[in-house]
Chain A
Amino acid sequence: MPEILNRGDIHAFRDLILTLSGQDASRCIQCGKCSSGCPIAYEMEHLPSQILRFIQLNMQEKALSSNTIWLCAVCETCTVRCPESIDIAGIMDALRKVCRERGVKPGDKKIAKFNEIFLDSIKSNGRVYELGLVMKYNMATAQPFKDAALGPVMFSKGKLKISPDKVQDTGVVKNVFEKSRTFITSKKD
């Protein structure tokens, strides 16, 4: 099916991302410098500049389902080199949140899962419990023997603890988790 661009408000997604991240994707001149310097571009379905183009053209599905937004390691190379000073890494961050909010299937399930488990770990302990985190993640992604060789080495070096490091007052951390909203909606640049 051809994509008919003007069925809806062509600026709808641009406006949404602007509201959520304070970043105006329509400033992008598509020079490609973000893509040129992105260390993960080789593994991405779409280049970062293409994601910005999707936002400019209101191609919401394309942007939200791409693995690009999950593979972004937030190293910020794109952001600091953008000739229009667009915080591209910040836009990727906003897209991941929109993805979760709308229940869009993440373009990279493993990364999305890892982040969930990572946050669960903080929620219950107040701190990251690395051994538990990696074990849980490996089970959840059905790869129980991942890094099987590395684990014992790290363990023998005393780098992984058997029991979690916990904060005393876990209640206040849990409370923060429950009350936090996905977006600070008051912001607009």
Chain B
Amino acid sequence: MTESSQDENIEVLTYSEIENIEGFIGNFDVTIRKKARSVDMSKCTGCGECVQKCPTKVPSEFDMGLGKRKAIYTPFAQAVPNVPVIDRDHCLKFQKDKCGVCQKVCPADAVDYTQQDELIQRKVGAIIVATGFSLFDWSVYEEYGGGRYKDVITGLHLERMLDTSGPTEGKVIRPSDGREAKQIVFVQCVGSRDEAKGVPYCSRICCMYTAKQTILLKDHVPDSQSYVFYIDIRAAGKNYEEFVKKAQRESGTVYIRGRVSKIYDRGDKLIVQGSDTLAGERVEIEADLVVLATAVVPNPDAVKLAQMLNMPYDQYGFYTEAHPKLQPVESVTAGVFLTGSCQFPKDIPDSVAMTGAASVRACAVFSQDELTIEPKIAWVDPEKCSGCFNCMEACPFDAIISEEYKGKMVAKVRESVCHGCGNCASTCRTKSVTVKGFSDEQIYAQIEAPFFEEEVEVA
């Protein structure tokens, strides 16, 4: 990130959101909302004085609420750019018109309470969507306490605790009483592979990060013992199977094949009620801490972005690639590419590989003066077009525009946007739209060809 932010050909816009996207491949017009940071980026030196002096503490989102941040803050130490932002919902200045300490202490006079959101325009030739994922809200699992037990956490919480520069400085503690956890139970597939309460698919990343966490746990707390309740171990990647074996053999992680049915507390322990289907026995474990591997799900606003980009998405809200085997990083919309877990759950190696591929595909757009497109696209005969524009409504790709022809307004297909789906042709009442290569006459000729030996003339 730091390198990118310093590259003269890269503009990094953080704390910003896409407001609107118009245009097509090679000619996208993007409206971006730069949210009011309340700190002037051109003046701020990143000294951190304001953060240190800010009196307001808020649970840190980055640390999953395990630690605190200030009302003026950078989300984490390595954040790029190293310029803080004011959380206006918690800042005393914005809420009660009090305090103002950050402005007073800033040596660069960078704090600006009057800053407003700013809408900026950028013209781009290609778009790579890498918006990532969210985690499944597991509170629907009432049988796991539905959130009532503080010591039932998610893998992301544990990830923060295992970070030596994180909120617990690498200590693995029970959020309820701050004691170090010794008996830790991992529960796989919470939300994943559950058609009744969650999603049917496998989230792909949990088996491996859980194995990693059990290994780290053993390093951090040598007298700890980890148990993993799993349904199937999915370790299909280079050295993945070996890695899981390492967790079992070197870190002593015990894998138990069965889905957990219930978690409840007894005294200061959590009772994890499970079974081992390999032994054919029901089992219970007394745990200090329970870590749930919650499902990977699309971002809540994933569909909104898909609609801005005229880009299809699946029943869950993951973006759909143009072809699952041959065009895995292209979206159906020309010039829009996909990478990371906005498309489906991916681990780091897959994300990195696909990001490389998507970048190269985007560069390919710029490497040529002319764009080669599929010949199978629609064409409007302006002589016949009555200008009803029903085709415009029918087009799922926003490919049809209106233009003047001989004093009347007619439909026109933007060739670089059209996919040749034929919706316009079947909607047109005057038969003025044809998909090139698929005119009615051509199709009739194809049908007739097997039945008549004589050559059929194509109109």
Give the B-binding residues of A (Cβ under 8 A). 29-38, 41-42, 46-47, 49-50, 77, 81-85
Most interface-central of B273, B274, B282 (chain A CB within 10 A): B282
Q: Which of B269-301 contact A (CB under 8 A)?
A: 273-277, 280-282
Q: Can you report 11 A-B residue pairs in the complex whose CB atoms are below 8 A from each other?
A: A32-B231, A32-B276, A36-B261, A36-B262, A36-B273, A37-B143, A37-B261, A37-B262, A50-B277, A81-B196, A83-B196
Q: Decide if B277 touches A83 in the complex (CB within 8 Å).
A: no
B144 CB → nearest A CB, Å: 10
B459 CB → nearest A CB, Å: 53
User: What would 9 more interface pairs be, CB under 8 Å, given A29-B231, A36-B261, A83-B196?
Assistant: A29-B193, A32-B257, A35-B275, A35-B282, A36-B262, A36-B274, A36-B275, A50-B280, A83-B259
Q: Decide if A35 touches B194 in the complex (CB within 8 Å).
A: no
Q: Decide if A83 touches B282 in the complex (CB within 8 Å).
A: no
Q: Within 8 Å of chain A (Cβ to Cβ): is B258?
A: yes
Given A32-B258, A33-B260, A35-B275; A85-B196 close (CB under 8 Å): yes
Residues in B with CB closer than 8 Å to A41 are 275, 282
Which A residue sits closest to B272, measured CB to CB?
Answer: A36
Q: Decide if A49 touches B261 in the complex (CB within 8 Å).
A: no
Q: Within 8 Å of chain A (Cβ to Cβ): is B455?
A: no
A68 CB → nearest B CB, Å: 11
4 closest Cβ contacts across the A-B interface?
A37-B261, A32-B258, A36-B261, A83-B194
Report the bound CA distance from A181 to B276 in whole Å.
39
Which B residue sits closest to A33, measured CB to CB?
Answer: B259
Residues in B with CB closer than 8 Å to A35 are 258, 275, 277, 282
Q: Within 8 Å of chain A (Cβ to Cβ): is B383?
A: no
Give the A-binding residues of B (Cβ under 8 A). 143, 189, 193-198, 231, 257-262, 273-277, 280-282
Report the bound CA distance from A35 to B229 in whole Å.
13
Report the bound CA distance from A46 to B277 in whole Å.
10
Residues in B with CB closer than 8 Å to A32 are 231, 257-259, 274-277
Which A residue sits closest to B282, measured CB to CB?
Answer: A41
Residues in A with CB closer than 8 Å to B274 are 32, 36
Residues in B with CB closer than 8 Å to A77 are 261
Residues in A with CB closer than 8 Å to B143 are 37, 81
Report the bound CA distance from A162 to B195 in whole Å.
52
Which B residue sits closest to A48, measured CB to CB?
Answer: B275
Report the bound CA distance from A77 to B275 in whole Å.
14
Residues in A with CB closer than 8 Å to B260 are 33, 36
Given A31-B193, A84-B196; A37-B273 close (CB under 8 Å): yes
Q: Decide if A31 touches B282 in the complex (CB within 8 Å).
A: no
Residues in A with CB closer than 8 Å to B231 are 29-32
Report the bound CA distance from A30 to B260 in whole Å.
12
Report the bound CA distance from A75 to B261 in whole Å.
14
A84 CB → nearest B CB, Å: 6
B371 CB → nearest A CB, Å: 46
Q: Decide if B193 touches A49 in the complex (CB within 8 Å).
A: no
A189 CB → nearest B CB, Å: 15
Residues in A with CB closer than 8 Å to B194 are 83
Residues in B with CB closer than 8 Å to A38 are 261, 282
Report the bound CA distance from A37 to B275 in whole Å.
8
Given A36-B260, A77-B261; A84-B195 close (CB under 8 Å): yes
Which B residue sits closest to A31, measured CB to CB?
Answer: B259
Report the bound CA distance from A32 to B273 in whole Å.
11
Q: Which one of B195, B196, B280, B282 lies within 8 Å of A36 (CB-CB)?
A: B282
Which A residue sits closest to B198, measured CB to CB?
Answer: A83
Report the bound CA distance from A42 to B284 in whole Å.
11
Q: Decide if A31 touches B258 in the complex (CB within 8 Å).
A: yes
Q: Decide if B193 touches A47 in the complex (CB within 8 Å).
A: no
Q: Decide if A47 touches B275 in the complex (CB within 8 Å).
A: yes
Given A33-B260, A33-B261, A81-B261; A47-B277 close (CB under 8 Å): yes
Residues in A with CB closer than 8 Å to B280 are 46-47, 50
Report the bound CA distance from A5 to B362 in whole Å.
54
B108 CB → nearest A CB, Å: 56
Report the bound CA distance from A29 to B200 in whole Å.
11
Report the bound CA distance from A47 to B280 in whole Å.
6
A131 CB → nearest B CB, Å: 36
Which A residue sits closest to B283, measured CB to CB?
Answer: A36
B261 CB → nearest A CB, Å: 3
Residues in B with CB closer than 8 Å to A33 are 258-261
Residues in B with CB closer than 8 Å to A50 are 277, 280
Residues in B with CB closer than 8 Å to A84 are 195-196
B133 CB → nearest A CB, Å: 21
Residues in A with CB closer than 8 Å to B258 are 31-33, 35-36
Which B residue sits closest to A35, measured CB to CB?
Answer: B275
Q: Decide if B277 touches A85 in the complex (CB within 8 Å).
A: no
Residues in B with CB closer than 8 Å to A47 are 275, 277, 280-282
Residues in A with CB closer than 8 Å to B261 are 33-34, 36-38, 77, 81
